[in-house]
Structure 1
């Protein structure tokens, strides 16, 4: 039996598209400490496929090559958030902003047990930086979530 490579340990691997993917690889290295594992480039330099490791997770990246895929700047909105589980989201937030990301949300304690911050990168992708603070059962998370949305008493 053939096993998938360890970099694909998770069943879902994000694959994002960015015009100037080579610039994005350099940016993600500065902003998030990414390490590029491989790159397949077209003769004109566009990246057909690249793989990065960010916080022990693989992210695939490339220049859009058809009408099927676009990037958030072209679409005018982001259709997915990329979540990074980190030990110090305030530190990663500062690093990302210094590299050129726009802060969307400062570090904020959330009902689901994490402290959450978020940034939008120059390519339009939203990165959610999560530092886990508390393990919360699904039932407690649901209760807290309803209370946070005004649908219940958080102390009940």
Structure 2
């Protein structure tokens, strides 16, 4: 039997999140983002490893294990990573996420590159972009649309 690398359902890069309460996070990702729990491994009274599927891909998570250097955003003072997940209906997904306690970081709107998207902060300190691809746009057209918007940077 041939071993598939990466395993089925995985792509070249797979996010691995550390959270302060993995069981609560798993429940939230299932309810708010429509994730499916594929595997959960208990270790020393905590979630040592979990795998979830969402939007055609997978991500992993675990509880904090400070002695191993595994700390969530709350223990580190924030996160530097954002995940993007494509969903069939971003308006519905955004409503569900907010209902379950997510905070809106950037508004839901159509973007110059063809996505309708919103950025949220989940209750565990991780940033997510929820998006529905609504239009195929060539890179040159994206550049033209961005130029037409003008310089949006602060300061």
TM-score normalized by structure 2?
A: 0.87
CA contact (8 A) 1:73 1:124 kept: yes
Q: How far apart, in 2, do the equivalents of 1:143 and 1:69 lie?
A: 43
Q: How far apart, in 2, do the equivalents of 1:87 and 1:3 lie?
A: 28
Shift of 1:91: 0.3
Helix, strand or coil for the counterpart of 2:41? Answer: strand
Q: How far apart, in 2, do the equivalents of 1:41 and 1:76 lie?
A: 26
Q: Aligned runs of 1:135-154 on 2, under 5 Å?
A: 135-150=136-151
Q: How far apart, in 1, do the equivalents of 2:107 and 2:135 lie?
A: 19
Moved more, 81-90 or 60-69: 60-69
Unaligned runs of 5+ in 1: 152-156
Over aligned residue pairs, what C-alpha RMSD do you find? 1.8
Q: How far apart, in 2, do the equivalents of 1:29 and 1:14 lie?
A: 16
State the match for 1:60 in structure 2. Answer: 60
Q: How far apart, in 2, do the equivalents of 1:132 and 1:104 lie?
A: 20
State the match for 1:122 in structure 2. Answer: 123
State the match for 1:39 in structure 2. Answer: 40
Moved more, 73-82 or 108-117: 73-82
Unaligned runs of 5+ in 2: none
CA contact (8 A) 1:55 1:86 kept: yes
Q: Aligned runs of 1:1-156 on 2, under 5 Å?
A: 1-4=2-5, 5-8=7-10, 10-44=11-45, 46-66=46-66, 68-150=69-151
Shift of 1:15: 0.6
State the match for 1:154 in structure 2. Answer: none
Shift of 1:11: 0.6
Shift of 1:73: 1.6
Q: How far apart, in 2, do the equivalents of 1:74 and 1:149 lie?
A: 38
Deviations 1:12-67 (A, max 9, x none): 111111011111101111111111111111131x1111000112210101012245
Q: How far apart, in 2, do the equivalents of 1:148 and 1:41 lie?
A: 50
User: Number of residues paired by the alignment?
Assistant: 149
